[in-house]
Structure 1
Amino acid sequence: MDIDSFWKLIEHSRGRARGRAGRLAWLRDELARKPMAEIVGFQVCLDRLCEKGFTWELWCAAERIFGGWCSDDSFCYFRLWVVGLGRTTFERAVRDPDTLAEAPEVLRLVGRPRRSWDDDWPEWEELDYVANYAHEQVTGVPHTDVSFYRAVAAGRSDDVLVRNPLGVRWDVRDEPEATRKLPRLSSKFPITTQP
């Protein structure tokens, strides 16, 4: 699967299904109709995109949205969520994370207490498993079996593994710095002591 085919699936899932569960079911069923190499290729593309977003700038954007803190796992799931927003939003966010302030999915969060975000929470861990579930649907091999991830690793054998975020880490709670680097997100998501 090439990157354009990957993004077509992501975009079609946005238009053909409602909610994350509906999108995941649609993606799983669409992938299950494809050859095994494309199912594996979907995961390879997803992994590569998540690595492209593995930057301190995007991490700081996530921290700002989350109120000043974002764990390793939360940042992983946040990047999956940003992929789920579509190609244009993702590519813009990787180049300039402050552009997330314009995304409708982010605008829905503004001014709301985080405890009320529920289905709008900006993380999408389950997207990372959809290709594996399609693999299970096609082969009958349980998703807990490592064979799918071995195939993905083989598809990425020439990739350089990124172990640390790119760029320079900075403290998103430093208001002057945050206002300079993420002006729109900083104004929309002021850091407070409220969860």
Structure 2
Amino acid sequence: MSEYDTEQHPTQQDNPEAQNNERLSDSEPLNASEHEPLEDAPSPLILLEEQVAQLKDQLLRTHAEMENVRRRASDDVSKAHKFAIEKFADSLLPVQESLEKALADNSGDLNTLREGVELTFKQLSSALEKGGVVVVDPKGELFDPHLHQAISATPSELPANTVIEVLQKGYKIADRVLRPALVIVAASSN
């Protein structure tokens, strides 16, 4: 045997690092995604830019939809204002027709004319009632500055601020005064 043969050489069995290298070289290749980034995968910055672009698009679409809703609502309000009195005007047309017939009557019969005027007045009252117009006729009631306008005060046996006379009826639509009643009230007895 040669000296060479007698010398102990480290074997692969004695060297653990060599064993690992051998195992690694014999096994299947490592998954590249675990150790190095894939060149085909988008970077986080690109992903964020795409997400921002999607959110901007969504925001623009939402804004456009809101603008369309606002415009439609505005159109609906405009139409409601324009045609709000349509029913009321429709109920007034028979009154106008009755007045036209009365003006066209040349018979000279006052009783017929009076009956026609009474019927026309009933039509008008009905039309106002359907339109929500309420008559304010406060004779004998206490003066209410929200509904009445006092023209003068007259001494009276009635309690102070009682409406003695109605010079002109007032009108309300729902709770809003269309025209206050013009009244004369009882003066306080001092």
Q: Same fold (TM over 0.5)?
A: no
Q: Which has the greater radius of gyration?
A: 2
Which structure: greater strand fraction?
Answer: 2
Q: Which has the higher helix share?
A: 1
Q: TM-score, normalised by structure 2?
A: 0.23
TM-score (norm 1): 0.23
